[in-house]
Amino acid sequence: MQALHAQQLIIDQITPLYGAGEARAMARIILEDAFQIRPGGLANTTLDAAQIVHLQDIIHRILAGEPVQYVLEVAQFYGLNFEVSPAVLIPRQETEELVAWVLAFIKLKKMVAPTVLDIGLGSGCIGITLKSKRSDIQLWGLEKSPEALIIAQRNAERLLGKDQYQFLEQDVLDPTKWPQLPDFDIIVSNPPYIPHHELAHVSEEVHRFEPAMALFVENEDPLIFYREISALAWEKLKSGGSLFFECNTFSANAVLDLVAKTGFLQTELRKDLARVDRMVVGIKP
């Protein structure tokens, strides 16, 4: 089958579910990521019988509602390809903005070889992207899920190289493990923050396919990760070091308050490109 024909087939089948624009974008991603066919190669490439079977399986899973990134096991983030599986969240566009903020901050403060800790690695998208843009970063990461940690390590190894990172299997809610960490210039986290009672606001695909551990917290204490990570940051940040959080719009002001009450200065809340409150920073005095 001609690749051009395959492209049309994907678009025709996916359009009823996602609309023409999205279907076209997915066709490009599928052909590029699963078959290494770039738009320029569509006219002079063909798919063999095995590839057609593979394509049909991909389309079938997408029509069943599975996010295309899980089907293809890859997600684009900040221009990099991250391996993903249902053990990790699919990296979000909002998180790219957090990464951009941290990078701008490092530059503004003229930091040299900053030590950075990413808490709750998931795919590793935050820490790995930071280091891939600023190779002098000394990168550390914590992840409690062994399955997620394996994915983060594979991404780090592929995108940064061996010995370029220190990732530990660790639950940040266990303070007995904190003393083994060094001091940091920057701590960054996009922790779980959705209380179970907000399940109704979470889209079908997200809660059917993405890891609950990465998304949800108990109703009684939705800020538990922010509180514990702030406490850890208070202990482990150097003077002048900074704590960056991603949060959702419902908790943004509470997170800002919490960071300020912990003692951090120059706290700031920023919106994402959708003009939604999304990220918080605080500086350790």
Interface segment toward ligand GLN; rule CB under 6 A; list 21-29, 129-137, 157-165, 189-197: 189-197
Residue 126 lies near ligand GLN (rule: CB under 6 A): yes
Task: Output 67 or 91, the one with its CB closest to ligand GLN.
Answer: 91
The binder of ligand GLN chosen from 89, 181, 243, 247 (CB under 6 A): 89
Q: At closest approach, how far in Å is the CB of 89 from ligand GLN?
A: 4
Residue 191 lies near ligand GLN (rule: CB under 6 A): yes
Residue count (the chain): 285
The binder of ligand GLN chosen from 68, 214, 237, 280 (CB under 6 A): 214
Show Cβ contacts of residue 281 under 8 Å, excluding neighbours closer than 6 positions: 101, 105, 242, 243, 244, 245, 266, 267, 268, 270
Residue 64 has a CB neighbour count (10 Å cut-off) of 10
Which residues in 10-19 are b (16+ Cβ under 10 Å) and which e?
bbebbbeeee
Residue 91 lies near ligand GLN (rule: CB under 6 A): yes
Q: Please, how many CA atoms are within 13 Å of residue 156, restricted to the half-sphere of its CB?
A: 28
Residue 47 lies near ligand GLN (rule: CB under 6 A): no
The binder of ligand GLN chosen from 33, 62, 96, 120 (CB under 6 A): 120
Task: Output 24 or 92, the one with its CB closest to ligand GLN.
Answer: 92
Residue 241 lies near ligand GLN (rule: CB under 6 A): no
Show Cβ contacts of residue 190 under 8 Å, excluding neighbours closer than 6 positions: 95, 98, 120, 122, 126, 245, 246
The binder of ligand GLN chosen from 192, 234, 270, 271 (CB under 6 A): 192
Residue 114 lies near ligand GLN (rule: CB under 6 A): no
Residues in 254-273 that interact with ligand GLN by CB under 6 A:
none
State the helix-helix crossing angle for 3-18 and 20-35, rounded to 10 degrees.
Answer: 140
Residues binding ligand GLN (CB under 6 A): 89, 91, 95, 120-123, 125-126, 190-192, 214
